[in-house]
Amino acid sequence: MLNSSSHRLWICTRCVRRVTWPGTTATSILQQRRWETTAAAEATRSSTPADHHVSSRHDDAVLRHLFDAPSGGLSFPSFSLKKSQGLFKNRYLTSPDGFFVFAQKNLEKATRLVQRVLSASTTEDYRGVVKDLDRLSDLLCRVLDMSDFVRMAHPDVRFQQAAAGAWSMVYQYMNQLNTMTGLNDQLGKALSLPEVTSAWSDEEKTVAELLKLDFMKSAVNLPKRARDRFVELSSRISDVGSAFVQGMEPEIKEVMLPSHRFYGLYPGLAATLKIRSQISIATTGPESAAALQSVYDEETRKEIYLAQRTASHSTIERLESMLKLRAELANLAGFESHGHMALKDRMMAKSPASVMKFLLALRNHNAPIVQQELLELTEKKRERLAMPEVDLQAWDRDFYMEKVRAEMRSRVRHEDQLTAFFSVGTVMQGLSRLFDRLYGVRFVPREALPGEVWHPDVKRLDVVSDDGEQLAVLYCDLFYRPQKSPNPAHFTVRCSREILADELNEATEDMVSATPIFDSPESAANDGMETSQRDGKLNQLPTIALVCDFPKNNSAREPAFLSYYSVETLFHEMGHAIHSILARTSFQNVSGTRCATDFRRTAIHPHGTLRS
């Protein structure tokens, strides 16, 4: 019934970075236009935390300057020497040691809920089973989702290790619950009682059916020995999957060749990579992507391309191990394959055969367009080489696509200014305007508290409705730094969900009996993270982290500019984020991106059952 925190991570294969290395800078005219609002800039320097009722025009201007400020310029200070208020404002996470306390507190609450569900006997008790199981799921996923993000994205290894420990502790407990026959039996009993189901809302009925299906996928009906093996396999798959994601690397980590073979490489980049008469280029990252777009020598592009796509022995080993474990898990649960198991609850894609049918139909539909574009690239290669017959190779694609784009840019009035219009701040400003027009929500910059963010580059935005209501918190970690994952990703660190009255009573008791670290029961009920209150209902706000790897411009005069592909990446990831922001429900099992999906949900880790 609880799904693992892998639901929160979206690594989009379509969005894996294809970076255009910035070549020439913007013209002085564009610079003047971008920086002419000096008064607004001065106002930002001394601004207090954003007022949600301030005009959208003011928010719009501050937003652009927040992301476009050069080094030492406009920015909300994220780090200070003041006492940490906790990562994401989670009051337990003021230090790495807090992860253990955070996990323990949630496991204690979860254990009490388990006992309450198991002891349900009256009609009233059974009417509350879905709410109890949903809260049980939320308690565990609070730790799993937070820990999954921190262990993958936090730059401090102490936080990474503490988060990994908390994740393992809670994940093991979750898998044990998933195979607990008593919980499954009690849910089945509740579903069988008309006097219970008639009192449930449509949302409760949906959640109940989802949880019942998830129990089935966790082999809850198998003998105890098989259930124990299921838990063991799930834990091993989780560990191997995590190691695969964090440790995947190419066999060859850098390509070093004579510098003359890199003719065409952007001059500024070539100068930074040159070592005597050689150029050394990392196999992964923006430098190699830039080389594939700009280097004229086909053999050099081929060498880089193949090095990028030849995985290390350890990476292949982990992948093969994970696939074998997944196959055994699926067979144990009574499924033909892991694909059949993963697609069981998809409304459209009921089986791997259905997915393949869809993909083949999509390929056939797109084939004429693809062939036309390939012919265009082949013709471009024929023209450049002055040869009547040429074969287009995989490592030619980016190079000749860039040639086509260059011609497109040359036909407009300002020859090379396409990228110059796409500063990070301008794109974020445009997204805010777009969401304002489409959905009536906008981004409002908010100064982070000490310890709230994991790096000074991270910017906090509140998502606010047109009537000033705060709907979500969005943390944007958009720029490259060493050791940071190059994969763009969307994380839902915490789902939206209604906080019930008995949870506030429990929080009040906890505040009395323990050293107070919270200001109010409302704050304690959500670990100090953001809540909202409307129509007498208290809700935990969705908290989202958006992580990208855009090149950072350290110029004292200009912001960072995005390539066309990077703009696409940001729009795509923000699409996942807006789904989490707007799809608010009373139950976390169906909130945001946890709703029923079909082909687009893929994850490296296995799904457990108590949904996260």
What residues act catalytically?
573
For strand 543-550 and strand 470-479, is the pairing parallel, antiparallel, or unpaired? Answer: parallel
Under a CB-based contact definition with an 8 Å cutoff, are residues 10 and 150 in contact?
A: no
Distance CA 180, CA 18 (A): 46
Under a CB-based contact definition with an 8 Å cutoff, are residues 338 and 326 in contact?
A: yes
Radius of gyration of the chain, Cα coordinates, nearest whole angstrom? 26
Supply 557's token pair.
Answer: 């005069």
Question: ∠ CA 499-503-505 to the nearest 5 degrees?
Answer: 130
Q: Which amino acid is at 389?
A: E
Question: ∠ CA 214-108-233 to the nearest 5 degrees?
Answer: 40
Distance CA 552, CA 326 (A): 40
DSSP, collapsed to helix, strand or coil, labels residue 397 as: helix
The sign of the CA dihedral 253, 259, 262, 264 is positive
Cβ burial, residue 229 (10 Å; 0-12/13-18/19+): middle
DSSP string, 251-303: S--EEEEEGGGGTTS-HHHHHHHEETTEEEEESSSHHHHHHHHH---HHHHHH
Phi, psi of 170 (to 5 degrees): -75, -35
Q: Which amino acid is at 486?
A: P
Q: How far is CA 484 from CA 63, 91, 162, 191, 492, in A?
A: 24, 25, 18, 47, 19
Distance CA 580, CA 592 (A): 4
Q: Which amino acid is at 380?
A: K
Under a CB-based contact definition with an 8 Å cutoff, are residues 421 and 428 in contact?
A: no
Distance CA 12, CA 10 (A): 6
Under a CB-based contact definition with an 8 Å cutoff, are residues 538 and 552 in contact?
A: no
Q: What is the DSSP letter of 13?
A: G
Distance CA 482, CA 587 (A): 38
Under a CB-based contact definition with an 8 Å cutoff, are residues 62 and 445 in contact?
A: yes
What ranges in 309-351 are assigned the alpha helix state H?
Answer: 313-332, 338-342
For strand 459-465 and strand 278-282, is the pairing parallel, antiparallel, or unpaired? Answer: unpaired
Under a CB-based contact definition with an 8 Å cutoff, are residues 237 and 322 in contact?
A: yes
- Of the candidates 428, 432, 380, 429, the residue with the CA atom closest to the CA atom of residue 406: 380
SS3 content of the chain, % helix, strand, coil (to 5): 55, 10, 35
Counting every residue written for the chain, the total comes to: 612
